[in-house]
Amino acid sequence: MNPGFSKEEINKLRAECQQEKRNFVYVEDEFDEDESIDEHAHIQFIGTFKGEETIYDALIYTIRLHHSALVYDLALERLQKQIPGYLPPEEREAGAKKLSMEEEEEAELLLTELIDEIEENEEVKVQEHVETEPDFDFGIGLEVGLNVEIIDDEIISDFINKFNANQLELDPGVYSFRSEEEEE
């Protein structure tokens, strides 16, 4: 049985929420050290799924952050077609073939150019969304993209209240963004 549906886990989370005086708790994870912390949050809250009380494990992020990730992934894919075998430094395994400093600089410059081109051509569009993953390890997984500037306690609480009351209305607009440096 999925432990996110167990009364014991639900009651434990309910007690944590009461202690925090919120309708959710933050999940400590690898994102905590990220500088874009105000653009996403990993939380858990109690809701119902198919009439049964459960724990939702949710990643909530701005659609601007989602857009940036999709643009980066597309640019990286194109870069890897031009420089087969290229992996960004954070994805390289120990002992993997390293590029020379010159090759590395060339790859980074090309990646930046590809990102600028993708943004300029508005090739990537995003919109608000809620993706449900019922086969999650713990409760029900949710990925939520919201058209807001930051993700804070108020935004999260408002989302949960509307989600649990079946009153959530997503913005149907489709958006494309430019890197912050370009906007200034």
The larger pLDDT score, comparing residue 93 to residue 43, is at: 43
For residue range 44-71, what is the model confidence (pLDDT) as tens digits? Answer: 999 999 999 999 999 999 999 999 999 9
pTM, 2 dp: 0.85
CA distance 57 to 71: 26
- Give the other-Cβ count within 10 Å of 153's Cβ: 14
Alpha helix stretches (DSSP H) within the chain: 7-20, 63-82, 101-120, 153-164, 180-183
